Amino acid sequence: MHINIFKRKELKENNSKPLILVTNDDGIHAPGLKALTELARKLGDVVVVAPDEGRSGMSHAITIKYPLRLNKIKDEENLAIYSCSGHPADCVKLAVNQLLDRKPDLLISGINHGSNSSISVVYSGTMAAAIEGGLHGIPSIGFSITDFSSRPDFSASCFFGEQIIMNTLSDGLPEGVCLNVNFPKLPQKDIKGIRICRQAKGLWIEEFDKRVDPHRREYFWLTGYFDNYEPDNEDTDEWALKHNYISVVPVRVDFSDTKAMAKLRSLYAKNGI
């Protein structure tokens, strides 16, 4: 049964305000979520469903072993906030299937504390929420900033983010596509602009810090660094961020490789399969 957070009649009579779903992976108390919520509230009716604690690096995990719980934190004019015991993808699923009486006009996820450029999109809970929104046919955007501190300055991110949100609300996105937006850690005056990019080719090189606990059992902390395979290619998100641009990468939900399909069909036909 759906909870009618915003009366359907009011939305129909005054459809100038879109319904915006906001989530993240850093948790309900993250400053980045607060900044994105305040931005969204300027633009429409807002429902926030975010994890009750940080769920970074969980990718597209969903909760099936334990029950999911929602806790209403705030309910006021044009804003409802819920914490969820699950992961970012769970938050989107619950919002779409249980909380909302209609499909949101937009889903925005973030603002993530730390970059989600290049291969990080595979591990990111921030982008998993945006991808989940895309699976439901909702225009969706994941926002991140290249600042891992607990209190980043989000003023430039919100200034440019508003433009990206307004463009998406106005023009929509191609079917099956969401946006991966990364902001450089810079004041607004130093950001050169927005570049539409592709995902840079690269890999996180894992380095495990091996330790021994008081019971003499080994344990490990995951560390490492990112190895950019194409640092000089100007059409990538990594190049854009390094050169003081905001990177916007269209991410397709469909992972099928059509070129590989054609090659495999030819190979299998050749072998009579």
The pLDDT value recorded for residue 15 is 55
Q: Where are the beta strands (DSSP E) in 62-201?
A: 70-76, 79-84, 106-113, 140-145, 177-183, 193-196
Rounded Cα–Cα distance for residues 164 and 176 (Å): 18
For residue 43, give Cα distances in angstroms to 106, 126, 165, 166: 11, 21, 9, 8
Nearest to 20 by CA among 36, 34, 3, 4: 36
Q: How crowded is the C-beta side of 216, counted as CA atoms within 13 Å?
A: 0
Judged by average pLDDT, the poorest of 10-14, 99-103, 201-205, 254-258 is 10-14
Burial of 234 (0-12, 13-18, 19+ CB in 10 A): exposed
Rounded Cα–Cα distance for residues 193 and 217 (Å): 51
Rounded Cα–Cα distance for residues 268 and 266 (Å): 6
Rounded Cα–Cα distance for residues 181 and 127 (Å): 10
Rounded Cα–Cα distance for residues 39 and 41 (Å): 5
pLDDT tens-place string over residues 52-103? 988 887 788 889 999 999 999 999 989 999 999 999 999 999 999 999 989 9
Quick one: fold of 8-201+232-270?
A: Stationary-phase Survival Protein Sure Homolog; Chain: A, (3.40.1210)
pLDDT tens-place string over residues 167-203? 999 999 999 899 999 999 999 999 999 999 999 988 8
The residue type at 181: V
